[in-house]
Structure 1
């Protein structure tokens, strides 16, 4: 066989070396490119600080130059928004953990009569609701008696109020998940533990504001039958000593802003409502189990008062929007104390945000203040006040100090000394 020519061998070797160098160059270039280019990130950063664009201000209170200086000082060109952005500065309170309730409750109800706190119904889980009453005794700080509710009575989102002996129970949601409301109403004699029917509400409602005022049981707002549409209707019926004195509900002046989950109180012959929201979770269309599906909620801190003129008057708003507080309040001296709740959803994650502060509203001055922090943020908690101590139990707490979204439904009872 003939040997290859020497010149041809050198040429082939040169080609192979050249191809090898070219391949090496391409590999190095690819590695350099991948290390210098950011990989896509489909999740929010783990940090509790999130950078969001600074809103444009159309007033002259803060010059734009000053804003830019502050941004540059922090090394960013936007406003730093903490994941716990809704927490307000508040003094620390010394909370003491008491006996836990027999069952955990979410969206339950509570009424205090002297040294007893009657705790009603509520979700145990999203698929299970309670149909009984537990009683907490503030004198010896124990959970004691338990008795059943009527089978036809709602299990959550109740309207409820007492005259000191009788507890009037109005409408609410019947069953778990996001089932429909009932128009049934009842009255409980707390001395005999006997239940009686009352005339049904004209239409069913979820979590309406409910109070006794000037000899009449007032029911207003709440969510309509679809669970999401705010209702503004206002009805009343005359009652005395657990008995209804009229056959039908009377239409009253509508509340200025509808929706559920607000506090409603009477003080010095004035009727007040505090906070609330428009919209709520609704049943998923076509779901045989009425599975809850989140819709848009708008939480507000509006305060309204009804007086002798029978006209709603607008009072100073709460320190921040607050909802899920229908039984999270107590009147102490000349002040209203409100514990926890929910506020506006997170602007980035759109998650529900719980409230971790204790608010005070002074009726005489109509001024708000933040008087303390809770052990954790919590919504639909149930509040009582006895012998200088503020108590709260049950509800749904946050995921932790750095995550204000709701997580665990609980039955814990806490108390703190309250000096006003």
Structure 2
């Protein structure tokens, strides 16, 4: 009995000691957890500040401008009464492709083109805008010409192109009656280029062929100058490698006066998608890019595959000395502007285009400005905004009105990436 009682007493003491130990352990654990939470909070605060500072420093070093959240007073009276405010999500804008400050222009929407067009070509002769070929989509290309009449503001007069003629990335030039159509891509997706050249007599809508280029080219800079058809740059047969070649052919009244092309002084920088303008007996080559999409190896449909591209705003000029001169560059790098220009009051006006790619996701960025190059001072101005950002516009000017049609527009005001191929036609009154 004594042993039993002693055992029970010892058991009660042991149980009491064990309970006390458990309580102490629980309290100790709670204290440790609390201390850990406090330490974690302090570290998180420090880490957050550090990451924020480091991120901002990294963005500054990479040329990306961080646009902070902007608070906007909401028009909703109930939210205003509750003190609630809406915010615009943070956006990351590169100083290269950010929209440039520009005045608003009043744009009027005109009758749309009969079909949507991307990478088409155009030539204006008096009050008529001749619009050639182009992609309807990556899998479909046009093989006809549409005509817009600036006097009646109507489309009409469709006719077919030669079956052997390129369907996109064409070089075009005119003497006021004959339109010369040079090389370009034959077929959809990223198929190969052609060296074929055709000339259109706009009075009877008949086509003739001219001696082919020495080598096929995509989107070469093309112009008539001093009785010769000049073809420069563009991309070589693989669609990506820039060409520096410069060839010319003597022509008159839609006929070639020579059997072979003559080699001229190479252009300082090669590549496609440039504006090429002759004015005041000077030849200008503006903007462009090095590199382009290529056909995916082994693809039976020549599916387009992305490659590295460099967009630039370089401006080069040839005059009577026949030496290339470097002029002030465009306000921002700009490409896909081969038919986006018009001549207005001793200046060159360019609508839209593409600029350097997004520095993070490498997506193409469209241009939404209208640029003016003053031929007297050889300086640039940004004179207005387009209704939206758009590339490969086909531009014209008539009776004080600046027109543009076709191309590929952006995804919206806050997304400058390309999306929809359009057939829109717009105009605005220019006072330069």
When the two structures are aligned, how many residues end up with a matched partner? Answer: 390
Larger radius of gyration: 2
* More helix by percentage: 2
| Residue equivalent to 2:157 | 145
Contact 2:94 2:359 in 1 (8 A): no
Q: Deviation string for 1:17-64 (max 9, x for gaps)? A: 3454456556656766776649x99xxx9xxx99722589xxxxxxxx
Contact 2:402 2:428 in 1 (8 A): yes
Question: For 2:245 and 2:411, how far apart are their aligned partners in 1?
Answer: 36
| Residue equivalent to 2:241 | 229
Q: Of 32, 47, 52, which aligns to 2:59?
A: 52
Counterparts in 2 of 1:289-300, with a 5 A limit? 289-300=301-312
Counterparts in 2 of 1:276-295, with a 5 A limit? 276-295=288-307
Residue 307 (1) aligns with residue 319 (2): yes
Counterparts in 2 of 1:142-291, with a 5 A limit? 142-291=154-303
Which secondary structure does the structure 2 equivalent of 1:52 belong to? helix
| Residue equivalent to 1:17 | 23
Q: Deviation string for 1:78-134 (max 9, x for gaps)? A: xx9735753222221111111222222111111111211111111222222222222
Question: For 1:403 and 1:134, how far apart are their aligned partners in 2?
Answer: 31
| Residue equivalent to 1:130 | 142
Contact 2:363 2:417 in 1 (8 A): yes
Question: For 2:177 and 2:17, how far apart are their aligned partners in 1?
Answer: 108
Q: Which runs of 5+ in 1 are unaligned?
A: 57-79
| Residue equivalent to 2:74 | none
Question: For 1:173 and 1:321, how far apart are their aligned partners in 2?
Answer: 24
Q: Of 359, 365, 369, which aligns to 2:377?
A: 365
Q: Of 327, 348, 352, which aligns to 2:364?
A: 352
Question: For 2:15 and 2:139, how far apart are their aligned partners in 1?
Answer: 82
Contact 2:373 2:381 in 1 (8 A): yes
Question: For 1:30 and 1:150, how far apart are their aligned partners in 2?
Answer: 79
Question: For 1:413 and 1:195, how far apart are their aligned partners in 2?
Answer: 27
Which secondary structure does the structure 2 equivalent of 1:238 belong to? strand
Question: For 1:289 and 1:29, how far apart are their aligned partners in 2?
Answer: 65
Q: Of 93, 100, 105, which aligns to 1:82?
A: 93
Q: 1:21 to 1:343 in 2, by over 3 A?
A: same
- Greater Cα offset, 26-35 or 381-390: 26-35
Q: 1:24 to 1:387 in 2, by over 3 A?
A: same
| Residue equivalent to 1:73 | none
Shift of 1:339: 0.9
Contact 2:271 2:290 in 1 (8 A): yes
Shift of 1:245: 2.0
Q: 1:33 to 1:375 in 2, by over 3 A?
A: farther
Question: For 2:193 and 2:221, how far apart are their aligned partners in 1?
Answer: 15
Q: TM-score, normalised by structure 2?
A: 0.83
The CA RMSD measured in Å over matched residues stands at: 2.8
